[in-house]
Structure 1
Amino acid sequence: MAYWLFKTEPSECSIDDFARAPHTPVVWEGVRNYQARNMLRDNVKKHDLVFIYHSSCKLIGIAGIAKVVREAYPDPSQFDSNSAYFDVKSAADKPRWVAVDLVFVEKLPTLLPLDKLKSSTKLNELPLVQKGSRLSVMPVTETQWQVILALD
């Protein structure tokens, strides 16, 4: 099992969306960065755990945990011309983008803000706290995972 951090805008997909239907898979779609796509496609596996990180909002930070229940498959939004994630260059026989399915595990009692993550010297190597890191999908080591859980 591996550990991940997925960034999301809560107006699109928040930990509360997962919690409302805890046993219903949520399609993690719309990743349009090649490096993040490659991690989803090549490294994210069934049963991996994921921190859900709220970004581009008033309260930024880790909001909860989800689990991967379906590995990478063609992102359906790339073919939907009504979707904000539509990609005219994607073809059904050669999709460019992938999605994974996640289910709710837990909501943290309080949001774990970025400042608190940055203040831990044990997390200096976490991509999220490094300058210029903008990926929406990033690996978290088991040690980093445990440090983050202990911060809560």
Structure 2
Amino acid sequence: MAKKKQYWLFKSDPDDFSWQDLLESPDQTACWDGVRNYQARNLIRDEMKEGDRVLFYHSQLKPPVVMGTAVIVKESYPDDTAWEEGNKHFDKRASEENPIWQMVDIQAEKEFNFPVSLPEMRETDALEGMMLLKRGSRLSVQPVDAKHFQWIVKRGNRKKA
């Protein structure tokens, strides 16, 4: 039986890797590396599947915004930045034999007509219970309910006046 499609939110600091960087990557595809939290790593390793859809969230903008959607095009594999000395994601405990950290590849799907801001998301009852909106929610990758994903996509894709 095929696994049900899941939905995710990936947080990115646009100074490190922006939506524009994804759009300018070959085939608009890039690896999602540098995740150094065990809970987030476990989601990448155990839950994320090819075809799952992603909200691409710029976390360090004022206000933070969802820029658009992406799709997971390659499932979990070792994050080699962890054992590259000099890489900002280097982890001396990791190696090719003991990779510890995982990554997936994502491909840009659709840029929103209007990025959806965090304040806008906080103001609607439709997103009640969304992990991103909970106090203390710091995971850089997190699951999103289908109904929350659909609301954000609809809001972001509304027609320009």
CA contact (8 A) 1:22 1:103 kept: no
Q: TM-score, normalised by structure 1?
A: 0.95
Report what 1:119 is aligned to.
123
- Tell me the alpha carbon deviations over residues 51-92 of structure 1, each in whole angstroms, 9 at most, x when there is no partner: 000012334110111110100100011011121000000121
In the aligned structure 1, how far is the partner of 2:16 from the partner of 2:80? Answer: 16
* 3-state SS, counterpart of residue 27 of structure 2: coil
* 3-state SS, counterpart of residue 23 of structure 1: helix
1:147 aligns with 2:148: no
Q: Note the residue ranges of structure 1 that are not aligned, 5 or more in a row.
A: none
1:129 aligns with 2:133: yes
Identical positions, percent: 36
* 3-state SS, counterpart of residue 17 of structure 1: helix
Report what 1:83 is aligned to.
87
CA contact (8 A) 2:80 2:96 kept: no
Two-structure CA RMSD over aligned residues (Å): 1.3
Q: TM-score, normalised by structure 2?
A: 0.90
CA contact (8 A) 1:22 1:105 kept: no
Q: Give 1:150 shift.
A: 2.5
In the aligned structure 1, how far is the partner of 2:137 from the partner of 2:40? Answer: 12
Q: Output aligned runs, 1:47-86, within 5 Å.
A: 47-86=51-90
In the aligned structure 2, how far is the partner of 1:80 from the partner of 1:24? Answer: 24
Q: Give 1:141 shift.
A: 1.2
Q: Note the residue ranges of structure 2 that are not aligned, 5 or more in a row.
A: 157-161
Distance of aligned partners of 1:68 and 1:13 in 2 relative to their CA distance in 1, 3 Å threshold: same
Please tell me the residue identity of whatever aligns with 1:67: V
In the aligned structure 1, how far is the partner of 2:129 from the partner of 2:73? Answer: 27
Query: How many residues are aligned here?
Result: 152
Please tell me the residue identity of whatever aligns with 1:39: L
